[in-house]
Structures are given as C-alpha cells and as structure tokens.
Amino acid sequence: MDRPLTILGIESSCDDTAAAILRQPVEGPAEILASVVYGQTDLHAPYGGVVPEIAARAHAEKIDLSIEEALVTSGVTLKEVDAIAVTSGPGLIGGVISGVMCAKGLSASLGVPVIGVNHLAGHALTPRLTDQVAFPYLMLLVSGGHCQFLIAHSAEKFTRLGGTIDDAPGEAFDKTARLLGLPQPGGPAVQAEATKGDPKRFRFPRPLLDRPGCDMSFSGLKTALLRQRDALIAEQGGLTLQDRADLCAGFQAAVVDVLAEKTRRALALYLADAPSEPLLAVAGGVAANTAIRAALETVCAQNNVTFTAPPLALCTDNAAMIAYAGLEKYVAGQIDDMSLAARPRWPLDQTAPALLGSGKKGAKA
C-alpha cells in the first residue's frame, strides 16, 4: 500500500446500529479512529426478544446519526473516506437493508466503492484487527445470536466445525434470567448469582456431549431449569435466594462443561493440520463470562494453544469489525457495486450443512 486507507464501517444486522472509522496506515496495524454503537435493548425489553419491525425502524432512525457521530469523533470528513464497508448479511433483513441502502447512497454520492461484509466474518476477523493474529486460527463465536466454531484459513475461507442447532448460549442465559426474575441482559445477572451458588446441587443436562462432533444444543437446558424451578415452587411454595443462586450455578456449570468439551474437540480437528502458531480466539458477549473464559483458557493451556479474546466492546456487535473485514476485502480487490444485495442468510462456510433454527436474534448463518 502506498498511502493510508480510510474505511467507513456500517453495522445494522441485529439490535445495534453502529458506525466506525478505521484507518490503515502505510505500515503497521489498522487503527480504530471512532466506533459508535446505538443499542436497542430498551426498545425490545418489553417483548422478551428482538422484534424485527421495531429493530428495522430504529436502525433507519439512527444510522445517519451514528455515521455523523463517528465522523465527528474521528475528525475525518466524508471526502477522506476511501471505501464503505457494510454488513450485507446474515441478519434481520429490515436492518440489513437499512445499512446496505445507506452505504450504497453514500457510495454513489462520494464516488467510492461499497463493500458488502458478512457479519460473521466481521466477528471472525476481529482478532486480526486487535492482535494481528496470523491465519489459520480457531474461532469460537459465542453470543446472544451466534454459537459456532470456525477455522479461519484466510479472510475469505472459513471452515465451520460445528455450531448450535437451536439457541445460542447468550439466549439461554437471557431466558434463564427471565425464568428466575433476574434483569436483562441475563448473562451478567446469572453469572453474578452463580458465584453465590452451589453448582453441584442441581445437575442439568449436558446436551449432545454423548454424540461425536462439535454441534451444540442449549434449548433443552432452559426447559430443565424451568422444571426444576417449578418443582421447587410446588414443594416449598417459592424460591429462596439460595435456590436461585444454586439454579444459576448449576445452569452455568452445564454451559461451561458443554463449551469446554466441544472446544476440546474443535481444537483436535484444528490441530490435526499442525498450524505453526496455534491459537483460539473467542468473540461474542458470552465471552465476557469469567467461568467460560477460565474453562477455555484451561483447555487451551492443556493443548499448548494460545488463547485470545478481543476487548469486550469489539467482541459484541460493532462497526469497527465490519470496517476491518471490509479493509481486508478492499486490499484483496473484492469490491461490490450497486447490485449489492441484503442477505438474511449467508453461511461463512458454504460447504457446511445448514444450521437449524434461527433464534430470537435472527439467522445464525
């Protein structure tokens, strides 16, 4: 590269409207000059899940604002933008369309390329943005909407080793919180309760551990928790604070065990090709869970594999990761034009069998 590149990133595939400005200097790592995220949690909270219609309207309302804020924060003007990277799938289609239309409009008026980015590629390439990680590495995406193991061979080539066949773990944490009267998002609340509880008092199922492979299932776990909760209520007329903490601890222990064992299996598949610098990166909101993180770190240490997790703000949905994935495509000459379409489904690994279920946050692949 003979001059610095400035990329505007736009993300609107789920319940966060985000814009970012990324600068790639001639030498050295890319720099995030601004990363703005407008979350929609409050808008969806009364409905117990993301409402696609509400999400689409909120994106349309906030998208200009987030771009403007990213420009002001970074001190970059639209004239300095070399390309516009936008999430063009997978996700809730109304939101994806908002982003793609906005990006195309800007591309046409500024005369710069538009680049359609796969949202999952954004997550999967984040360790390269934050830690300049070399290919191939193993990636675990674990959030409210995603749960899959990917080997990242290059910016375009990913092998999916397995994923959830129903709920994502974040969804399971959120549903557990709801069943126990804890606040949303459920993950941090359940984790806090779990630290006060006995993980051995209730033994919840470890779904799919009896089957080979890296696929996972988390929806049965919340049903088991619901049954246990109702049994306690029927027996005692209610739940004590200790019951609640013990239920959370038992639930979290089950998620930890499943993720740890499936990570062991995914690592075995990844290591079979003898990568020179073996590394597992984790991304997604659930990566904030200290018990899950500790278990993954242990599995990695046992296998002599480096463990890395990007800072949380870059683990959850954001536009800096979209700008970065767009930068990798731009450098490879992969730009789009006005025919760029919004895609509700877009598996990163086209050869892997389709994932079942789409969960509260839309398509997972």
CB of 93 to ligand KG4, least distance (A): 16
**SS3 label, residue 6:** strand
Interface with Zn ion includes 328 (CB under 5 A)?
no
318 assigned ligand-binding residue: no
Question: Annotation-wise, does 238 bind a ligand?
Answer: no
The pattern of x and - marking residues 136 through 155 that bind ligand KG4 according to CB under 6 A reads -------xxx----------
Q: Quick check: 114 and 336 in contact, CB under 8 A?
A: yes
Query: Is 145 one of the annotated binding-site residues?
Result: yes
**In the window 11-40, what residues touch ligand KG4 (CB under 6 A)?**
14
Helix axes 119-131, 320-331, angle to 10 degrees: 90
Site string for ligand KG4, 89-128 (x = CB under 6 A): ----------------------------------------
For residue 17 the two structure tokens come to 């409207």
Whether residue 119 is annotated as binding a ligand: the answer is: yes
Sheet of 306-308, strand order: 158-163, 147-152, 137-142, 279-283, 306-308
Establish if 285 lies at the interface with ligand KG4 (CB under 6 A): yes
Q: Which stretch binds ligand KG4 (CB under 6 A): 75-83, 182-190, 300-308, 351-359?
A: 182-190
The residue among 136 and 170 lying less far from Zn ion, judged by its C-beta, is 170
Binding mask 296-325 for Zn ion (x = CB under 5 A): ---------------------x--------
In the complex with ligand KG4, which residue's Cβ is closer, 6 or 263? 263
Give the integer Cα–Cα distance in Å for 162 and 353.
9
199 binds ligand KG4 (CB under 6 A): no
Q: Are 13 and 7 in contact (CB under 8 A)?
A: no
Per CB under 6 A, does 163 bind ligand KG4?
no
Q: What is 184-249 written as a DSSP string? A: SSHHHHHHHHHTTS-TTTS----TTTTSSSS-B--HHHHHHHHHHHHHHHHHHSS--HHHHHHHHH
CA distance 72 to 102: 18
* HSE-CB of 277 using CA atoms within 13 angstroms: 10
Is 142 marked as a binding-site residue? yes
| 15 near Zn ion, judged by CB under 5 A | no
Residue listed under structure tokens 């590495």:
137
317, 168 contact by CB (below 8 A): no
**CB 47 to Zn ion: min, Å:** 20
Q: How many CA atoms lie within 13 A of 149 on its CB side?
A: 22
Which residues make up the interface to ligand KG4 (CB under 6 A)? 14, 143-145, 170, 173-174, 185-188, 191, 284-286, 288-289, 316-317, 361
List the binding residues for substrate.
Answer: 141-145, 174, 187, 289
List the binding residues.
Answer: 119, 123, 141-145, 174, 187, 289, 317
Which residues make up the interface to Zn ion (CB under 5 A)? 317
List the binding residues for Fe cation.
Answer: 119, 123, 317
